[in-house]
Amino acid sequence: MSKEKVWHLYSRKLTGEASQDELMELQLYIEDHPSLQYEMEALEQVWMQNNQPDKEYLEATYLLHIEKMKKLGVEPKHLDDMVESEELLQLSFFKRNKRKVFAAVMVAVIVTAAIIPLVNRKNAATGSANTETAKAEPKVVVMPNGKNTSFKLPDGSTVWLNAGSKLDYSKINDAGNREVHLTGEAFFDVVKNPARPFIIHTSTIDVKVLGTKFNVKAYPEDKTVETSLVQGSVEVFVKNRPGEKYLLKPNQKLVLLNEEQTVAKSSLAANKKDINLPIIAITHLTYPKNDTLAVETSWIRNKLAFEDESFAEIAKKMERWYDVKIIFKNQELEMEELRGDFSKETLQQALDALRFASNFRYKIEGKTVIIY
């Protein structure tokens, strides 16, 4: 080996760029040339030392930096302060409205009991924490479009299952396993059990909780998969991003772009600049004016609500809610943002209400709605 090459190998060793073979080669060379040993060890000492950051200088500089941002009006907000006050509000809401929520649930159960025989009527009607299980019954609940329901799981947790959704809880057993598989949308009120986390699997995310109230919306046909937390805390694992874990605080919502819906766009572009939406974002739940129930969870009170969502997204919700197919003849309408809040309205009444805000016409033909 040439004398020059030694220094190449030595530099690569210090910088972590050397291969195993190169390290070996260097080692052998140094053993043959002990005179190099002292110099190399001394330099290695120097190289390994990290310079100590000047904390005082950095604190002062960071303060100036934030001052500059304040002048520009772009300084970081303290998210924690915000969340805390909202959490208090949310908790008091849950106490006040408990009865109302259960009243709504009762209606839902009566409507759907004929279709879903395994719904535990007594539990839902009384709202008691009855943990009695029915082992022989099927453990998959499917809600067709146009219906929703709620029921208790064998571990005592309560689930509200929205229209066009499926929940498989066959893995919940007496041994303490608490794992379910969800397609579509469900609201969970999970009984606390720190020793046994409750896990919801969907095709794109896993949500792990200890005890809490939250909503998971994971319809394969929707643009986003959303996890909305009302109370407690949950961890969200995104399947194609191993090792990443997102912790939600009350009133936060994790929105994940649904890859099945966006893959066509992103595979075109190796340059990611074209995608404006973040792949994952955490936002806050949306509360309509004069209401304490978030838009994200209003469906459990038998309300179809949306706040400034695109007509295309709203149409997907309406398709499930009213069990119809909605077709747009005018693509510009799909982009329009609308808000609405329906409970007892018929499909026709709901469409008429939306027409107040947007300039469109519609035609209902059996189970198909044409918007033009």
Partner 1 sequence: MPHKKTHKSIKDLQRRIAVYEDEAAYKELFFLLFQSLTHFAEGILQSKENAEEIVSDVFISIWNDRAKLNQIDDLKLYIFVAVKNNAVRKARQLNKDATISLDSINVEVDSLYQSPEERMLSTETVTKIETAINNLPNKARLILKLAKEDRMKYKDIASLLNISVKTVDNQLAIALKKLATAISEPLRKKK
d(CA 345, CA 325) in angstroms, rounded, equals 18
Taking CB under 8 A as the rule, which mask of x and - marks residues 20-59 in contact with partner 1? ----------------x-xxx-xx-xxxxxxxxxx--xx-
Q: Work out which of 2, 21, 32, 72 binds partner 1, going by CB under 8 A.
A: 72
Site for partner 1 contains 269 (CB under 8 A): no
Site for partner 1 contains 244 (CB under 8 A): yes
Site for partner 1 in 119-148 (CB under 8 A): none
Q: Which stretch binds partner 1 (CB under 8 A): 103-111, 191-199, 274-282, 305-313?
A: 274-282
d(CA 229, CA 215) in angstroms, rounded, equals 6
Neighbours of 174 (CB within 10 A): 9
Task: Give all strands (DSSP E) within 128-261, no chain letters.
Answer: 140-143, 149-152, 158-161, 165-168, 179-189, 198-201, 205-209, 213-218, 224-231, 234-238, 245-248, 252-257
Please report how close the Cβ of residue 224 comes to partner 1 at its closest, in angstroms.
15
Please list, residue by residue across 244-271, b when 16 or more beta carbons sit within 10 angstroms of its beta carbon and e when fewer do: eebebbbbbbbbbbbbeeeeeeeeeeee
For residues 176 and 154, the answer to whether their CB atoms sit within 8 Å is no
Site for partner 1 contains 7 (CB under 8 A): yes
Q: Which stretch binds partner 1 (CB under 8 A): 10-18, 143-151, 219-227, 352-360?
A: 10-18
Bridge partners for 206 per DSSP: 201, 237
Q: Work out which of 34, 77, 290, 332 binds partner 1, going by CB under 8 A.
A: 77
Please report how close the Cβ of residue 237 comes to partner 1 at its closest, in angstroms.
14
Please report how close the Cβ of residue 281 comes to partner 1 at its closest, in angstroms.
7
Please report how close the Cβ of residue 87 comes to partner 1 at its closest, in angstroms.
16
CA 36 vs CA 11, 143, 200, 286: distances in Å: 14, 76, 60, 68
For residues 317 and 163, the answer to whether their CB atoms sit within 8 Å is no
* Residue 39 vs 365, nearer CB to partner 1: 39
d(CA 251, CA 146) in angstroms, rounded, equals 28
Site for partner 1 in 282-321 (CB under 8 A): 282
Please report how close the Cβ of residue 53 comes to partner 1 at its closest, in angstroms.
6
Which parts of this chain interact with partner 1 (CB under 8 A)?
Answer: 4, 7-8, 10-12, 14-17, 36, 38-40, 42-43, 45-54, 57-58, 61-62, 64-65, 68-69, 72, 74, 76-79, 244, 246, 272-273, 275, 278-282
